[in-house]
């Protein structure tokens, strides 16, 4: 059993220091409620800005330092995404960082930049998933637009008890956010923690709708449309229970099998 907290917060546009000051008491509140993993949003220190050349930080920059300091101070795991330029890279990454209680860091680079807004022109795509054992719970991490790509979640399902999705998801598509969070939980029979911002940034409005969905698709915690912390107990035993009672994952065809189907566009089937 692990208590997980979603920190739903506003973001001061491209002002990291002000965002650190805003977030610190919220992280402290989450830790004070017993959370062992505290999730902040996508680009928690800058907002979803395409000015990547100006705002990107080195790998040991102030935003990663903030996460490490918070993790050490409260003895918890803390995550959120940051614009990071790795040494020698042409483009920065939209990088989700997970800080452990000892201050060590692991990362996941957003696999699917949001091309609709031109993110792919300013941030490089990642190519590696991240699943961590956090105090006995297997957690896989994703960033915002990744939520639309079910196959990324499917391939990790058997090794995942809980997915964490950090986001800056706009109010105009809030129905998609809510529906897809529930869908990813139901189809993978795992918890999904969705962490979204509120307020306005770069001309876009954000509604929040942070929530925690259980492996059967039930919403067990949901945020009102203001800055706040929502949390819930997440249980590997509950995941096992749902999967044993409803063994749907065993019927899922591997991607290679699905891709091997003969195309219906062929003019006629081949015959021996």
Which active-site residues does the annotation give?
A: 42, 110, 144
Contact between residue 140 and residue 130 where contact means Cβ atoms under 8 Å apart: yes
Contact between residue 197 and residue 9 where contact means Cβ atoms under 8 Å apart: yes
Contact between residue 144 and residue 169 where contact means Cβ atoms under 8 Å apart: yes
Contact between residue 41 and residue 4 where contact means Cβ atoms under 8 Å apart: no
Alpha carbons within 13 A on the beta-carbon side of 184? 34
Contact between residue 139 and residue 159 where contact means Cβ atoms under 8 Å apart: no
Q: What CA–CA distances, in Å, run from 13 to 4, 65, 82, 200, 205?
A: 27, 19, 13, 9, 13
Residue 197 CA, chain-centre distance (Å), reads 12
């Amino acid at each position: 059993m692990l208590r997980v907290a979603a920190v739903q917060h506003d973001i001061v546009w491209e002002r990291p220091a002000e965002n650190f000051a805003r977030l610190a008491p919220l992280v402290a509140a989450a830790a004070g409620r017993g959370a062992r993993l505290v999730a902040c949003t996508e680009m928690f220190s800058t907002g979803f800005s395409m000015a990547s050349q100006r705002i990107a930080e080195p790998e040991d920059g102030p935003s990663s330092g903030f996460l490490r300091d918070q993790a050490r101070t409260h003895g918890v795991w803390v995550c959120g995404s940051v614009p990071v330029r790795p040494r020698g890279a042409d483009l920065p990454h939209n990088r989700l960082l997970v800080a452990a209680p000892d201050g060590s860091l692991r990362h996941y680079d957003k696999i699917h930049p949001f091309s609709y807004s031109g993110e792919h022109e300013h941030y490089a795509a990642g190519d590696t998933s991240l699943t961590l054992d956090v105090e006995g719970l297997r957690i896989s991490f994703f960033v915002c637009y990744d939520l639309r790509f079910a196959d990324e979640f499917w391939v990790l399902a058997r090794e995942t008890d809980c997915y964490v999705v950090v986001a800056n998801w706009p109010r105009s598509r809030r129905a998609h956010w809510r529906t897809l969070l529930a869908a990813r939980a139901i189809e993978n029979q795992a918890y999904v923690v969705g962490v979204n911002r509120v307020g306005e940034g770069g001309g876009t409005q954000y509604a929040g709708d942070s929530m925690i969905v259980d492996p059967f698709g039930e919403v067990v915690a949901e945020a009102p449309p203001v800055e706040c912390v929502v949390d819930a107990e997440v249980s590997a035993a509950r995941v096992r229970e749902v999967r044993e009672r409803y063994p749907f994952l065993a019927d899922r065809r591997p991607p290679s099998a699905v891709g091997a189907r003969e195309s219906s566009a062929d003019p006629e089937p081949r015959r021996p």
